[in-house]
Chain A
């Protein structure tokens, strides 16, 4: 039986797992919440064919090995107020009281509009990974990977591991930029090792810098793509196009709580101090929601946030390691800036808001996101602007408007008469 929790951690990826472990280790009663059925977040998503990678398994077991972490899978936070969250799982909706909150909501993929991007068969690069790990049978399918950033290599690795024929990886950044990025990796040995092992596993797959997919072609589903690169214009037949332009912090919950954000980057990040505390006294944030820095940075920030939320002093060495890991964010940002070529892919008749089928031409005349929303319903569909909001921000069409509570489509019963706090299971471990 659990009456209340000292610390609620939202998101069970590397940052959330580290935060829960640290806070529970300090003797606090912790509840760890995630909308997915398994822990790990996106980067450590459970793979139905291959299980968890070893560091993920260790981290998950560390968090759930019975010292006071209550694990709530398939649980979505639909609203948050000071002192309690309104959450919903497949069975019920209820209020969950907390004293301190750690936001470890991670990142979403930046998906940008281009002609044909709504065709079935076009998925995100991270989307391909997620779906493959959920059991999408890719064996024998011709997969082309495109967009920008290190995630493309990880997607190629996952696709090949699941039996796909990977036709190539098309990176929009130039060859010179990619070389410069790789040369700077020595400062982060973990990243260097990751890059080296990916390179090994991708032997035989072409990597094409300076190359952009300009259109996806097909009638009811994808059948080919058009590519523009150093070798000129070409057309390639394929079954799946996995295309992503990097990651953006998921700020839904942080903004809903009124946490201040930083906008020194095109896509805003939660503003935190050295102890990962947000502008709200009782709320901490860690990992990708504070800027895209990767899993090593997320784990360190998670530990710091968990300790800080528990009121435990933070060792200076830990803060120092976090600062170094966080510097990788700037290294990434500097090198994977999107070229104007990418920004100019969508035409006036290209759908930007996929929920409401609003084309770019209808949005262009509006001075800002809010005006476009009122006039065209852009961003008012089921995803509440999660896809088109980040896209329009990237394309320079004004700041995205935020989702209002409930931040996810919610059952009326959850909003009307939330159940009393049910008796929640204490950590029962996980099967890996």
Chain B
């Protein structure tokens, strides 16, 4: 399935992940952070279905995207809070 992988840039670092998975699944698998809350707490996906908005990240420069609602694409740029 090596041909099935896509290359993302997460916080400036290139990473290869399986194609067709969600950005949330990719970040969870890589054990990367997602966002910080208003008071600075680390948050990560909770509902997995686009309801809770805890998995928000910046995707290709567009802020506040729900990572669980977006499928990875080759050359996608993902930026998280830290």
**Using a CB–CB distance below 8 Å, which chain A residues touch chain B?**
35-37, 42, 48, 74, 108-109, 111, 118-124, 126-131, 134-137, 220-221, 351, 354-357, 381-383, 386-387, 409
Set of chain B residues within 8 Å of A118, measured between Cβ atoms: 37, 41, 43
In B24-82, the 8 Å CB interface with A consists of: 24-26, 28-29, 33-34, 37-39, 41-54, 56, 64, 68-69, 71
Q: Decide if the interface of chain B is mainly helix, strand, loop or mixed.
A: loop
**Using a CB–CB distance below 8 Å, which chain B residues touch chain A?**
18, 20-22, 24-26, 28-29, 33-34, 37-39, 41-54, 56, 64, 68-69, 71
Set of chain A residues within 8 Å of B18, measured between Cβ atoms: 48, 135
Given contacts A135-B18, A354-B37, contact A387 B52 (CB under 8 A): yes
Contact of A354 among B52, B64, B68, B69 (CB under 8 A): B52
| CB-CB nearest in chain A for B23 | A134
A111 touches B46 (CB 8 A): yes
Contact of A383 among B25, B26, B34, B52 (CB under 8 A): B52
Set of chain B residues within 8 Å of A220, measured between Cβ atoms: 42
Set of chain A residues within 8 Å of B41, measured between Cβ atoms: 118, 351, 357
| CB-CB nearest in chain A for B31 | A221
Q: Decide if the interface of chain A is mainly helix, strand, loop or mixed.
A: loop
A134 touches B68 (CB 8 A): yes
Question: Nearest 8 CB-CB pairs, A to B?
Answer: A135-B21, A130-B48, A120-B44, A135-B25, A134-B22, A382-B53, A127-B48, A137-B29
Listed A/B pairs (30) with beta-carbon separation below 8 Å? A36-B69, A108-B47, A108-B51, A111-B46, A118-B41, A120-B33, A120-B44, A123-B47, A124-B46, A127-B45, A128-B48, A130-B47, A130-B48, A131-B28, A134-B21, A134-B22, A134-B24, A134-B68, A135-B18, A135-B26, A221-B44, A354-B43, A354-B52, A354-B54, A357-B38, A381-B53, A383-B51, A386-B52, A387-B46, A387-B47
Set of chain A residues within 8 Å of B64, measured between Cβ atoms: 382, 409
B47 touches A109 (CB 8 A): yes
Given contacts A48-B18, A135-B26, contact A126 B45 (CB under 8 A): no
Set of chain B residues within 8 Å of A36, measured between Cβ atoms: 49-50, 69
Given contacts A134-B22, A134-B68, A357-B37, contact A111 B53 (CB under 8 A): no
A130 touches B46 (CB 8 A): no
CA distance A357 to B35 in the complex (A): 13
Contact of B49 among A122, A127, A351 (CB under 8 A): A127
Set of chain A residues within 8 Å of B71, measured between Cβ atoms: 37
CB of A163 to closest CB in B, whole Å:
12
A127 touches B43 (CB 8 A): no
A111 touches B47 (CB 8 A): yes
Set of chain B residues within 8 Å of A357, measured between Cβ atoms: 37-39, 41
CB of B64 to closest CB in A, whole Å:
7
B48 touches A383 (CB 8 A): no
